[in-house]
Amino acid sequence: MQEPSHRDAVDFLMRAPEYEDASALEHAFARVLAGLGVNAYSCSKQDSRRPGGPPVVMAQRGLDQWDQYMADQGYFAVNPCVRWTAMGRGAFTWREVQAELRRSGEASEREQELWAEAAENGLHDGLVVRTVAPAGQVLSTRMVTRAPRIRTGDRALLESLAIIFATLRHRFHEQAADSPLNATLTRREAECLRWAAQGLHDYEIAERLGISGNTVRNHMQNAMRKLSAPSRLAAYYRALSLGALD
Amino acid sequence: MIHVVTAQNRHLYKSQLWQMFQLRKRHYVDERGWAELWQFGSAELDDSDDERAVYMMELGPAEELLGFVRIRPTDDHSILVDKFPYLIDPSLLPLKGPGTWEGARIWVESGVPNPHAAMHRLLTACAEHILARDGERLLAFIDVHNIPHLSDGALEFTMTGAPAPYRYGVMAGVKHELSEEAVCRMRDSLGEPPPLTYEVEDEDVDLHGCLARVQREVDLARTADLGTAKVDFATPAKTKARINALFAQHDACFPEPRARLRAPGLRLLEGDGGRA
């Protein structure tokens, strides 16, 4: 007999491709993780074409402050989990990393400070799952618990959840990057388009918005470029149809 | 073209089959450490490599193996259902039976230009073959870390139940509900015209001399623009008829040679525009 939390997780694994958008997927993933005692997660990708570049965070819940703190303290440079992920380890827990470093005697003072600070912030154990997307991007999912440790019995389930989630979330991320909606208009660009569609000249729009005529022209050109539209009117209708003026 | 190797034409693929079993041993046993698999010297075989097994093979121009996968109907037995029932949610049972096939032992040469596309060509070939035999589902059991490579927008595998740890990672059962639309999507995403598969017969090899030449003929026949290709119009009518019959099933046909490409000296068939 499966525990209810495991039942939910298996349901997620069996139905995950049916989620139609990234937010529904993230919501379901977070709910399933909460059932398994995981309080925070982060899913990022490292582009294989730019291995030295910063990872792109695709989804995150509950780890933003901690990550900001780690960045401020320079902890990312000494974080052994980052090293292990770069080395190609498939999945590992923080406990395993700590045990390995203790055994080998390689743990530095800074690393020990990092673990101590994580514990002080209620982040006691985590599972890091690394997987590789077909185009070579490294997808890394961190799942962190406030409980003393990730339960051994949940490990396979969490690893599978992370892989399925990262795969689908990455797909949504790529789709969004390819979509014209990615060309999100700024507030000013949208305002300029709206007024232009009502037949106002640039100087009239400039007056209403309290900006110069040149700035209006720049906003218009940016909007047309983002929407690949040949004219201002075409840009307006394209933005309207894509919901970019909502 | 993906070669369909069945019990009827296996004798034509002796060297490729032997190479495949050796590669399976090297990949699964030596590299991945799956020591439990049945090994026979330098080869790996199991009880599903019987006369009902069908192998999809991609061959290079010199008949060398570029990729393979095994599929098999599950109306008698299934590795996933019979050996790993704990990977299947009870709500999905009975998962095996007529119409359900099982895939295993997929391998793609790492040196091919796009290994992901090569893997998906093999999977599309499986789907095409199974659908042509009124199948509706493909099962497999895989390491969860391979799921991103197996699934993409066109071909979606879903898990059959809870995953389970095994000695080398985490294993899961996956299934894909087949449909003509999905296969069309897969072919479109690969840029492959239908049909992707071809089952070579003795006559083909008798007529053309070797597998590589048969493959060349079929690939030429599948190529949309025949005008630029050097077409061997001595292709025996019987083989053309078989290819046309296959095309007819997929609502496709030989393209008409383009008038602008009718260069002096290029022999063109008259009347039927190339159809046998």
Q: Is the pLDDT of residue B74 over 90?
A: yes
pLDDT > 50? residue B257: no
pLDDT of residue B276: 36
Please calculate the CA angle A35-A40-A43 and round it to the nearest 5 degrees.
110
pLDDT of residue B240: 67
User: Does B227 have pLDDT greater than 80?
Assistant: no
Question: Which tens digit of pLDDT belongs to each residue from A153-201?
Answer: 899 999 999 999 999 999 888 877 665 555 577 888 888 888 888 788 8
Instruction: Specify the higher pLDDT residue, B13 or B230.
Output: B13
Residue A140 has pLDDT above 50, yes or no: yes
Looking at residue A106, its pLDDT comes to 76
pLDDT at A173: 85
Domains (ranges, CATH) in chain B? Answer: 2-222 (3.40.630.30), 232-276 (no CATH)
Contacts of B153 in chain A (CB under 8 A): 171
d(CA A187, CA B131): 51
Which of the following CATH numbers is that of domain A187-239: 3.40.50.720, 1.10.10.10, 3.40.50.2300, 1.10.1200.10? 1.10.10.10
At B166, is the pLDDT very low, low, confident or very high (cuts 50, 70, 90)?
confident
Report CB contact under 8 Å: A133, B148. Answer: yes
Mean of all residue pLDDT scores within chain B: 83
What is the model's pLDDT at position A79?
Answer: 86
Interface test with A, best of B143, B146, B159 (most A CBs within 10 A): B159
A245 vs A21, more confident: A21
> CB B158 to CB A135 under 8 A?
no
Residue B159: pLDDT over 50? yes
Is A4-177 CATH 3.30.450.80?
Answer: yes
ipTM of the complex: 0.73
Top-ranked range on mean pLDDT: pick from A227-231, B38-42, B119-123, B241-245: B119-123
CA atoms within 13 A on the CB side of B168: 15
Q: Quick one: which H or E segment has residue B169?
A: strand B169-177
Query: Helices A202-209 and A213-226 sit at what angle, rounded to 10 degrees?
Result: 110
Q: In the structure, what pLDDT confidence band is assigned to residue A52 with cuts at 50, 70 and 90?
A: low
B28 touches B37 (CB < 8 A): yes
Structure tokens of B144?
């969860």
DSSP for A42-72, please give it: EEEEE-TTSTTSPPEEEEEES-HHHHHHHHH
d(CA B161, CA A82): 31
Q: What are phi and psi of A181, to 5 degrees?
A: -65, -20
Is the separation of the CB atoms in B17 and B5 below 8 Å? Answer: yes
* pLDDT given for residue B95 in this prediction: 87
First-to-last C-alpha distance (Å) of chain A? 48
Each residue of B19-58: pLDDT tens digit? 999 999 999 888 888 877 887 888 898 889 999 999 999 9
Residue B160 touches partner A, C-beta closer than 8 Å: yes
Three-class DSSP labels, B23-80: HHHHHHHHHCCCCCCCEECCEECCCCCCCCCEEEEEECCCCCEEEEEEEEECCCCCHH
Q: How confident is the model at residue B66 (pLDDT cuts 50, 70, 90)?
A: very high
A203: region left, alpha or beta (phi > 0 left; psi from -120 to 50 alpha): alpha
User: Which comes out higher in pLDDT, residue A4 or A148?
Assistant: A148
Residue of chain A whose Cα is closest to the Cα of B157: A17
- 């999809």: which residue's tokens? B56
- Let me know: does B7 contact B201? Beta carbons within 8 Å: no
Interchain CB contact of A5 with B (< 8 Å) = no
Q: How confident is the model at residue B4 (pLDDT cuts 50, 70, 90)?
A: very high
**What confidence tier does B200 reach under pLDDT thresholds 50, 70, 90?**
very high
What pLDDT is stored for residue A9 in this prediction? 93
Q: Where are the domains of chain A?
A: 4-177, 187-239
Q: Which of A31-35, A71-75, B7-11, B77-81 has the lowest mean pLDDT?
A: A71-75
